[in-house]
C-alpha cells in the first residue's frame, strides 16, 4: 500500500466515529448493535451490516450488541432467532453477554409511553386504520387532525391502561404521538406508537396484547443499551426525525446518533426479504439454505467461507449512494480464500473412458500428487493409475479448433502427475456417432509427468482411474437469475420471469479420486481445472456422496470459446 492509498475499511462512517472519539463524545465510548427482526433468514446484505457493526466495534475498541427487534408477534418466530444467531457466529462475530431482545424492554417502553401521554405528547386514537390513512393527507397535502386528538391526559392514561388490560379488540384503538398532522415528512404526522395485537409473542407469551411500533421501540432500545452510533440503511433516513423526536420527549438515558448507509445490492440475484420468502414458499428453490440463494446459510452450504464473505464486505466499501455490486467480486473473494486453503484433488465430472492400450491390465501405479501448490504444509498424497481411466469429455475434441490444446486424434498430452499419453483411436457409438471411448498409448518413461528427452506437451489433463474411482453426484450452481438486475421493470414481467433455469445442474456418475471416499460435511477442495467444491451438508451420505460447486475457476479457454 502506498501512502496515497486509503486504508481498508475506511469510509464516511468511520470518519464520523473517529471524529467523535477524538472529541471524546460519549466519553470516548463506541457502542453499536446489529438489530435483526426474527422474521426471516439473514442474507448477504445483512452480512454487510454485521461486518460493519461488529467490525467498527472491534477496530475502535467498542462493543456491538446483538438485539432482536421482536415487536411484531404476528411475523416472528424462534426458528429465525436461532438461525440468525448461528449465522452471525458462523460469520465470525461474538456478542459475548450482549444478547438483547426489544421484547425485554416492553415494560420500560410502556413507561416511556405513559411519560409521553402525561406530557401531552401522545394520545389514544379511536380511528381505524382506514380512517387514519385518510386523515394522513398526501405527499403534497397536509393531513387533518383526528377527532380524538385532544383528549385529556387522564382519559388517555385510562384508555392506554385499558388497552394493555385487553379491554379492546385488535385495531380498535392505537396510541399515537401528537406531533404535527401538517408536517411535510409524512412519518411525523402523528405516527402510531402502539397497536393492539391479541397474539402470543415468541418470548413474552400472552403477557402483552399491545405491542410497540418500530419507530418507538428502536430508538429507545438503542438508548437503553447505551448505543452511541445507530447504523441503519437509507430507507430509515425519513424516520430519523422521529427517532430524535421520541428521544427528545422522554427521559431517555442517552441519545444515540442514527447514521444511514446504502444497503447492498448484488447483480443476478435479489436481496429483499419479501422476494426471498416468495422464492422459498413457491418452491423455486429448495429451502432457505438452497445454495443458489444469497442467504448466509445458502452461501455456507454452497461452500463460501466466512473469511471470503468478510473480505467481500470489506472490499465493497460503504457509502450513501445506491449501487449494485457485481457478483464477480463475490466470486473473486471466494476464489481468493479457497485458493489458499483448498486441497487439490482430481474429479471427472463428465467422464469419457480412456483405455491405455500398452499399459498392462491389472497393473496399478501409485503416483505422488501435491495436495496444494499454494501451501507446502499440505503435503502430498498418492493417486492410483491403471489401464482404464476417465478424462473430462470437454478435454477431447475430434476436430480441434486452432487454440484447443487438449486431446485430439494423434495428439499427446500429459495426465497430471502421471504419464504422457497419445490418442490413437476414437471409438464412437455405432448409431449416434457419439464418442464413447478413446484408445491411447502411454510413454512409460514419462512417469510422474516429465519426459526425459525434454519434450513438451501443450496440455495437462485431470483423470481418475476407472477401477478406483468413487462415484458421486455433483451439483453445479450458477447465478439464480439470468438478468443482472431482475427487478428492472419490463413490460408484463416480474423478477420471477428471469429465474435462470440452469442455476442448478445435477450431474450423476461423476468419477472422483479414491481419497474422497470418506469426505464428510465441512470438507471442501478444488477439483483441479474445474472449480472449488464442498460436500453437501444435507444430502451427502457415505457411499452416496454429493458435492456442490462453490465457484468455478477462472477459465481462459471458456472465454476464448465464447468470443468465437
Report the C-alpha gap between 444 and 423 in whole angstroms.
15
Helices 78-91 and 306-315: crossing angle in degrees, nearest 10, is 80
Q: Are 291 and 507 a contacting pair, CB within 8 Å?
A: no
Out of 20, 69, 222, 225, the only residue in the binding site for RNA (CB under 7 A) is: 69
Query: Which residues in 356-375 contact RNA (CB under 7 A)?
Result: 372-374
344 binds RNA (CB under 7 A): yes
Contact pattern for RNA over residues 442 through 461, marking x by CB under 7 A: ------xxx--------xx-
Stretch that binds RNA, among 9-17, 243-251, 298-306, 517-525 (CB under 7 A): 9-17
At residue 363, the 3 state secondary structure works out as coil
Q: Are 452 and 490 a contacting pair, CB within 8 Å?
A: no
Give least dist CB 542 to RNA, A: 27
229 binds RNA (CB under 7 A): no
Report the C-alpha gap between 318 and 14 in whole angstroms.
10
Of 296 and 504, CB closest to RNA: 296
Report the C-alpha gap between 409 and 396 in whole angstroms.
9
22 binds RNA (CB under 7 A): no
196 binds RNA (CB under 7 A): yes
528 binds RNA (CB under 7 A): yes
Stretch that binds RNA, among 53-61, 153-161, 278-286, 315-323 (CB under 7 A): 315-323
Residue 303: DSSP 8-state: T
Going across the sheet that includes 210-212, the strands are 122-125, 174-177, 192-196, 210-212
Stated as kind and residue range, the H or E segment containing 81 is helix 78-91
At residue 394, the 3 state secondary structure works out as helix
Which residues, listed in sequence order, are joined to residue 415 by a DSSP beta bridge?
A: 461
Nine cell digits for residue 550: 462453490
Report the C-alpha gap between 188 and 190 in whole angstroms.
6
Of 283 and 452, CB closest to RNA: 452
Of 290 and 395, CB closest to RNA: 395
Out of 114, 157, 325, 466, the only residue in the binding site for RNA (CB under 7 A) is: 325
337 binds RNA (CB under 7 A): no
Give least dist CB 173 to RNA, A: 7
Give least dist CB 434 to RNA, A: 21
Report the C-alpha gap between 79 and 280 in whole angstroms.
15
162 binds RNA (CB under 7 A): no
Out of 80, 211, 268, 385, the only residue in the binding site for RNA (CB under 7 A) is: 211
Residue numbers annotated as active site = 37, 263, 273
Contact pattern for RNA over residues 233 through 262, marking x by CB under 7 A: -xxxxxx----------------------x
90 binds RNA (CB under 7 A): no
557 binds RNA (CB under 7 A): yes
Contact pattern for RNA over residues 461 through 500, marking x by CB under 7 A: ----------------------------------------
Biggest CA-to-CA distance, the chain: 102
Of 275 and 315, CB closest to RNA: 315
Query: Which residues in 370-399 contact RNA (CB under 7 A)?
Result: 372-374
541 binds RNA (CB under 7 A): no
19 binds RNA (CB under 7 A): no
Out of 22, 431, 508, 559, the only residue in the binding site for RNA (CB under 7 A) is: 559
- Residues shown for the chain: 564
Q: Are 397 and 423 a contacting pair, CB within 8 Å?
A: no
Calculate the CA 287 to chain-centre distance.
14
Stretch that binds RNA, among 48-56, 90-98, 190-198, 491-499 (CB under 7 A): 190-198
Stretch that binds RNA, among 209-217, 288-296, 469-477, 538-546 (CB under 7 A): 209-217
Stretch that binds RNA, among 70-78, 199-207, 285-293, 352-360 (CB under 7 A): 70-78
Report the C-alpha gap between 161 and 337 in whole angstroms.
57
326 binds RNA (CB under 7 A): yes
CB burial of 396-421 (b: ≥16 within 10 Å; e: otherwise) equals beeeeeeebebbbeebbbbbbbbbbb
Stretch that binds RNA, among 212-220, 350-358, 469-477, 507-515 (CB under 7 A): 212-220
Nearest residue to 302 (alpha-carbon basis) of 11, 547, 38: 547
Stated as kind and residue range, the H or E segment containing 80 is helix 78-91
Calculate the CA 283 to chain-centre distance.
19
Amino acid at each position: 500500500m502506498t501512502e496515497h492509498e486509503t486504508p481498508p475499511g475506511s469510509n464516511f462512517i468511520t470518519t464520523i466515529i473517529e471524529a467523535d472519539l477524538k472529541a471524546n463524545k460519549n466519553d470516548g465510548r463506541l457502542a453499536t448493535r446489529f438489530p435483526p427482526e426474527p422474521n426471516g433468514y439473514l442474507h448477504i446484505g445483512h452480512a454487510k451490516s454485521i461486518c460493519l457493526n461488529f467490525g467498527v466495534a472491534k477496530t475502535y475498541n467498542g462493543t456491538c450488541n446483538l438485539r432482536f427487534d421482536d415487536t411484531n408477534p404476528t411475523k416472528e418466530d424462534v426458528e429465525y432467532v436461532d438461525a440468525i444467531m448461528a449465522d452471525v457466529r458462523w460469520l465470525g462475530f461474538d456478542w459475548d453477554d450482549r444478547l438483547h431482545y426489544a421484547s425485554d424492554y416492553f415494560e420500560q417502553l410502556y413507561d416511556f409511553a405513559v411519560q409521553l401521554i402525561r406530557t401531552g405528547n401522545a394520545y389514544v386514537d379511536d380511528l381505524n386504520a382506514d380512517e387514519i390513512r385518510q386523515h394522513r393527507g398526501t405527499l403534497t397535502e397536509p393531513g387533518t387532525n383526528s377527532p380524538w386528538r385532544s383528549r385529556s391526559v387522564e382519559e388517555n392514561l385510562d384508555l392506554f391502561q385499558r388497552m394493555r388490560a385487553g379491554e379492546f379488540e385488535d385495531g380498535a384503538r392505537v396510541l399515537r404521538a401528537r406531533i404535527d398532522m401538517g408536517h411535510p415528512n409524512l412519518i411525523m404526522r402523528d405516527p402510531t406508537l402502539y397497536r393492539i395485537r391479541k397474539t402470543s409473542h415468541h418470548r413474552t407469551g400472552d403477557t402483552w396484547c399491545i405491542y410497540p411500533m418500530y419507530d418507538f421501540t428502536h430508538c429507545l432500545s438503542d438508548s437503553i443499551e447505551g448505543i452511541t452510533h445507530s447504523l441503519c440503511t437509507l430507507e430509515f433516513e425519513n424516520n430519523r426525525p422521529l427517532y430524535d423526536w421520541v428521544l427528545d420527549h422522554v427521559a431517555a438515558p442517552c441519545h444515540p446518533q442514527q447514521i444511514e448507509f446504502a444497503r447492498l445490492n448484488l447483480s443476478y440475484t435479489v436481496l429483499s426479504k419479501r422476494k426471498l420468502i416468495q422464492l422459498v414458499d413457491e418452491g423455486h428453490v429448495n429451502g432457505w439454505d438452497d445454495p443458489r440463494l444469497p442467504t448466509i446459510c445458502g452461501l455456507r452450504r454452497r461452500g463460501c467461507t466466512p473469511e471470503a464473505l468478510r473480505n467481500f464486505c470489506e472490499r465493497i466499501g460503504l457509502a450513501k449512494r445506491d449501487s449494485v455490486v457485481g457478483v464477480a467480486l463475490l466470486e473473486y473473494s471466494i476464489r481468493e480464500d479457497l485458493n489458499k486453503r483448498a486441497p487439490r484433488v482430481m474429479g471427472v465430472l463428465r467422464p469419457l473412458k480412456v483405455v491405455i492400450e500398452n499399459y498392462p491390465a491389472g497393473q496399478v501405479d501409485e503416483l505422488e500428487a501435491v495436495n496444494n501448490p499454494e501451501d507446502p504444509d499440505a503435503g502430498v498424497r498418492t493417486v492410483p493409475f491403471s489401464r482404464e481411466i476417465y478424462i473430462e469429455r470437454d478435454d477431447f475434441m475430434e476436430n480441434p479448433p486452432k487454440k484447443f490444446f487438449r486431446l485430439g486424434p494423434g495428439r499427446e498430452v500429459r495426465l497430471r502427475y502421471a504419464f504422457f499419453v497419445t490418442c490413437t483411436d476414437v471409438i464412437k457409438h455405432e448409431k449416434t456417432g457419439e464418442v464413447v471411448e478413446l484408445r491411447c498409448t502411454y510413454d512409460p518413461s514419462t512417469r510422474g509427468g516429465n519426459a526425459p528427452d525434454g519434450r513438451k506437451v501443450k496440455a495437462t489433463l485431470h483423470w481418475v482411474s476407472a477401477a478406483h474411482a468413487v462415484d458421486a453426484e455433483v451439483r453445479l450452481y450458477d447465478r439464480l437469475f439470468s438478468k443482472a438486475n431482475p427487478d428492472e421493470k419490463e413490460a408484463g414481467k416480474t423478477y420471477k420471469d428471469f429465474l435462470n433455469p440452469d442455476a442448478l445442474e445435477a450431474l450423476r456418475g461423476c468419477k472422483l479420486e479414491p481419497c474422497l471416499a470418506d469426505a464428510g460435511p465441512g470438507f471442501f477442495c478444488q477439483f483441479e481445472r474445474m472449480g472449488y467444491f464442498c460436500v453437501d451438508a444435507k444430502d451427502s451420505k457415505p457411499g452416496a456422496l454429493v458435492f456442490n460447486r462453490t465457484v468455478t475457476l477462472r477459465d481462459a479457454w471458456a472465454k476464448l470459446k465464447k468470443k468465437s
